[in-house]
Amino acid sequence: MNLDVTWAKAWIRTGANVMSEHRVELLDLDRAIGDGDHGENMDRGFQAVLAKLDAVPAEANPGDVLKMVATTLISTVGGAAGPLYGTAFLKAAIAVQDKSDLDGAALVALLTAGRDGIVLRGKAESGDKTMVDAWTPAVDAAAAAQASGADAPAILLAAAEAAEAGALATEPLIARKGRASYLGERAIGHRDPGAQSSALLLRAAADTATQG
């Protein structure tokens, strides 16, 4: 089973709903170790994306959807999240730009490019208590699943589960990037909000692929 533009739209629509549903949770996480606006920013950004989603033509491909998400988030999301997520979606779009259907290899390329975009923009590594701590396990799990012959929905499920575990694993870390890095040991015990929103988005990707 490959995933086409219908899935890409469903992923982003579900992701927007998830950001709205978890807005307060993300706000609370960010109040503890950041600027306190991550939930609001993500909800506002994805509502702006949602407003443009139906205008993406039916003959478009998944990369077109991802590019629209990228440009919209960059222009509407404040703080660090806009450039980071915008770069992630832009790099992901480029990785699959000529494909109308995404097989397992294309999904791994999409996720890898998204992660690499975040690393490029934020200069963070695994263990820095950032979004990367959700994305890198997701990429690794997706690649392993694809290598074992898993289909596209199973690859996304593996990525989502790994991202959720990665987000949880940020709680005992001392932050080395972003505003949380100024807190030193006081950041210990708090989950990184960007890692959590990343896990939520990747779970939305998996859920829509499974339902499809």
- pLDDT at position 186: 75
Q: Please state, in angstroms and rounded to a whole number, the distance separating the CA atoms of residues 63 and 67.
A: 6
Question: Long-range contacts for 84-89 (Cβ within 8 Å, ≥24 apart)?
Answer: 84/118, 84/121, 84/122, 84/131, 84/194, 85/45, 87/117, 87/118, 87/120, 87/121, 88/114, 88/115, 88/117, 88/118, 88/135, 89/114, 89/117
Q: Name beta bridge partners: 3.
A: 102
Contact at 8 Å (CB) between 79 and 49? Answer: no
Phi, psi of 3 (to 5 degrees): -115, 130
Return the CATH number of 5-211, one of 1.25.40.340, 3.40.50.300, 1.10.260.40, 3.40.50.620. Answer: 1.25.40.340
Distant-in-sequence, close-in-space partners of 85: CB < 8 Å, separation ≥ 6: 45, 70, 73, 77
Q: Please, what are the averages of pLDDT over each run of 10 residues along the chain (212 residues)?
A: 91 97 95 89 96 93 97 89 95 96 97 97 91 98 98 97 97 82 77 96 97 68
Contact at 8 Å (CB) between 86 and 74? Answer: yes
- pLDDT at position 106: 97
- pLDDT at position 11: 97
Domain ranges of the chain: 5-211
- pLDDT at position 1: 64
